[in-house]
Amino acid sequence: MFTVEAGLLEELKKPAGDLRNKDVFAFRPFNATGIETTRASEVFAFEKAKGAGKDAEEEWRRVKPSVKDVDQAKVDDLLARLSNLRAQSSEGGQAKTGLDTPVLVVVATFDEGKKKERVVFGRSGSDVFASIEGQPGAAKIDAAEFDQALKALDALK
């Protein structure tokens, strides 16, 4: 028999959803190397690539549906808005989350292309949910923040 601090016992009593990581994405704007979004039938993909010239910095460019130069600040805005999405609560299942008919699917590549994550977003009424690959259930996220991420994506079309 042994004793433990009372605070540890209180932590163990918390529901599993309270202990889950609240970040929807693991990537951050500074370590992202690629992002692909699917919204309805529209697919947009962006990659970070070394610019032309000896001292050129890495720059984002659109690679799908066609190759195009993009405003770097707008890509940074999209990445920041996506990477800042956080779970407000966890749902045990995916029923009534809208995830069966996604409004957005995001695949992000980061850490020099070594890591990849896929998140599916669904809408049910005024609520927005995210299904994070490799995690059970769904996360409810702030609908207004999600809508701002969609606006940032629209600005890159």
137's CB contacts (< 8 A; 6+ apart) are 17, 90, 91, 92, 93, 94
Rounded mean pLDDT, 40-44: 94
4 pLDDT band, cuts 50/70/90, is low
Q: Is 37 exposed, middle or buried (0-12, 13-18, 19+ CB in 10 A)?
A: buried
Written as six digits, the tokens of 32 are: 């992202």
Q: Please report, as a single letter, which amino acid is at residue 90.
A: S
- Whole-number average pLDDT of the chain: 88
pLDDT given at position 47: 96
Model pTM?
A: 0.83
